[in-house]
């Protein structure tokens, strides 16, 4: 066996084992929990009630003909419990469709959804694109099989819905939600949250907001980032900044570049790893992810996470793009062209943030409307390796 492959496989097994132990107290532990699964055939996830429809001959395998504007309940269950896995797939699944099927999750009978995200973005791929993704928390498998493994505790109630905000009726929506009942859940257990944001274009000189929440203790789990560059050249020099609790002008945690944040270097090439990767790398579209499963970011009162839009180019090239509005700084490297500058950019940026917090959010910023969500969705432009010219 190739020694490098063997070593990498061992490391992955060790890391995955650590993750399992952390979330389940040991997969081998004999628990007094009840395992359940909700699906179209057993929507209430009742015990001993699976496969009953039409004598078990796949009588009701999916939600059929979900009309435009309609909402379907995937799960409505009293707790305490823990959602362990969500799988789903849909037809039709064009970019416009999967960007406008909205997933919402409500905890503890709240009227405000803790999760409100377009389906395809929640499952790891920006721009309404289709790409394979293999991470510890989310996978996208052929042919658009969506999987999520974030543990989601609830004490009183869990309600999960999808709403078809596309312009087409959905022929099929297959799903299965695997969960346990009887878990011990308290106020010291954060509830899972996720939000979606898009700015097209971003405001020049103003960092894009990935996440902002306050009034609770919590832990930031990571994000999916999508960038559609609006001008030529490398767009990934901007830092991810994490303003924790009392931070105001400057963050406690500040990275060194967008591709550095997802664990890559010197540009981007399509790849997937357990905690970070870039499933989609094309000249016109980038989709990346970073999960903080082993390096969680805790906050006690508030957190704000932003992405700086920054590129690198010769000053005269940057001036052609931004003219008198150009905001820049010379690279100042003894072995590089003195004309090379870091400059702030304006691009089309979107993000899904994942985090736990308690108490729950009491309000949320409205989801971008359908037009803002769907302008300039993914069109294949050819795979590429995109390099940072440092």
| pLDDT tens per residue, range 88-141 | 999 999 999 999 999 999 999 999 999 999 999 999 999 999 999 999 999 999
pLDDT at 9 (0 to 100): 38
Please check the confidence at residue 381 and state whether its pLDDT lies above 80.
Answer: no
Query: How far lies 257's CA from each of 40, 212, 232, 267, 306, in Å?
Result: 44, 20, 18, 10, 12
pLDDT band of 22, cuts 50, 70, 90: very low
Residue 25: enclosing H or E segment and its boundaries? none
Q: Which two tokens stand for residue 197?
A: 């944001």
Bridge-based pairing of strands 115-118 and 191-199 is parallel
The residues facing 164 across adjacent strands are 101
pLDDT at 25 (0 to 100): 61
Counting runs of H as helices and runs of E as strands, what totals does the chain give?
6, 28
Core vs surface per residue 47-69: b (16+ CB within 10 A) or e: eeeeeeeeeeeeeeebbeebeee
| pLDDT tens per residue, range 258-299 | 999 999 999 999 999 999 999 999 999 999 999 999 999 999
SS3 content of the chain, % helix, strand, coil (to 5): 15, 40, 45
Distance in angstroms (rounded) separating the CA atoms of residues 165 and 137: 26
Q: What is the mean pLDDT of residues 312-337?
A: 94
R_g over Cα of the chain: 22
353 touches 194 (CB < 8 A): yes
Q: Which residue has the tokens 């905690």?
A: 275
Domains, the chain, in order of start with CATH, read 15-25+33-44+61-309+345-362 (2.60.120.1390)
Q: What percent of the chain stands above pLDDT 90?
A: 86
Nearest to 31 by CA among 190, 181, 150, 149: 181
Distance in angstroms (rounded) separating the CA atoms of residues 266 and 387: 6
pLDDT at 18 (0 to 100): 42
The residues facing 277 across adjacent strands are 272, 289
Q: How far does CA 101 lie from the centroid of its chain? A: 15
Distance in angstroms (rounded) separating the CA atoms of residues 175 and 73: 11
83 touches 152 (CB < 8 A): yes
> Across the chain, what does the average pLDDT equal?
92
Cα first-last separation, the chain: 37
Poorest-pLDDT segment among 51-60, 65-74, 193-202, 268-277: 51-60
pLDDT band of 387, cuts 50, 70, 90: low
Please check the confidence at residue 390 and state whether its pLDDT lies above 90.
Answer: no
pLDDT at 342 (0 to 100): 97
Nearest to 223 by CA among 104, 303, 110: 303
Distance in angstroms (rounded) separating the CA atoms of residues 284 and 265: 19
Distance in angstroms (rounded) separating the CA atoms of residues 208 and 373: 16
What stretches of 197-262 show up as alpha helix (H) in DSSP?
Answer: 258-261
Q: Count CB neighbours of 23 within 10 A.
A: 14
Q: What is the mean pLDDT of residues 349-355?
A: 98
Nearest to 194 by CA among 349, 356, 85: 356
156 touches 79 (CB < 8 A): yes
DSSP 236: B
Please check the confidence at residue 2 and state whether its pLDDT lies above 70.
Answer: no
Residue 234: enclosing H or E segment and its boundaries? none
């Amino acid at each position: 066996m190739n020694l490098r492959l063997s070593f990498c496989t061992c490391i992955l097994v060790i890391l995955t084992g650590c993750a399992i132990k952390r979330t389940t107290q040991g997969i081998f532990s004999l628990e007094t929990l009840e395992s359940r699964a909700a699906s179209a055939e057993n929507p209430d996830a009742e015990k001993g009630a699976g496969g009953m429809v039409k004598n078990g001959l796949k009588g009701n395998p999916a939600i059929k003909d979900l009309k435009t504007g309609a909402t379907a309940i995937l799960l409505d269950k009293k707790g305490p419990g823990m959602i362990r896995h969500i799988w789903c797939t849909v037809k039709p699944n064009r970019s416009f469709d999967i960007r406008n099927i909205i997933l919402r999750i409500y905890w503890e009978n709240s009227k405000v959804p803790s999760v409100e995200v377009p389906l395809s973005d929640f499952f790891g791929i920006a721009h309404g694109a289709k790409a394979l993704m293999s991470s510890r928390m989310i996978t996208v498998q052929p042919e658009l099989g969506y999987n999520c493994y974030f543990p989601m505790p609830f004490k009183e109630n869990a309600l999960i819905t999808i709403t078809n905000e596309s312009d087409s009726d959905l022929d099929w929506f297959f799903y299965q939600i695997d969960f346990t009942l009887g878990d011990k859940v308290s106020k010291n257990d954060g509830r899972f949250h996720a939000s979606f944001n898009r700015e097209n274009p971003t405001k020049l000189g103003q960092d894009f907001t990935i996440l902002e929440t306050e009034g609770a203790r919590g832990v930031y789990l990571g994000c999916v980032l999508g960038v559609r560059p609006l001008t030529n050249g490398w767009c990934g020099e901007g830092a991810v900044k994490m303003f924790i609790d009392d931070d105001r002008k400057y963050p406690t945690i500040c990275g060194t570049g967008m591709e550095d944040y997802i664990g890559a270097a010197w540009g981007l090439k399509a790849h997937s790893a357990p905690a970070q990767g870039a499933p989609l790398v094309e000249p016109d579209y980038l989709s990346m992810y970073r999960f903080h499963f082993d390096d969680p970011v805790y906050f006690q009162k508030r957190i704000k996470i932003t992405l700086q839009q920054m590129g690198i180019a010769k000053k005269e090239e940057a001036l052609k793009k931004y003219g008198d509005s150009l905001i820049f700084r010379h690279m100042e490297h003894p072995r590089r062209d003195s004309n090379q500058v870091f400059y702030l950019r304006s691009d089309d940026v979107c993000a899904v943030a994942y985090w736990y917090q308690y108490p729950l959010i009491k309000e949320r910023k409205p989801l971008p409307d359908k037009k803002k969500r769907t302008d300039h969705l993914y069109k294949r432009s050819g795979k590429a390796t995109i390099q940072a010219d440092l």
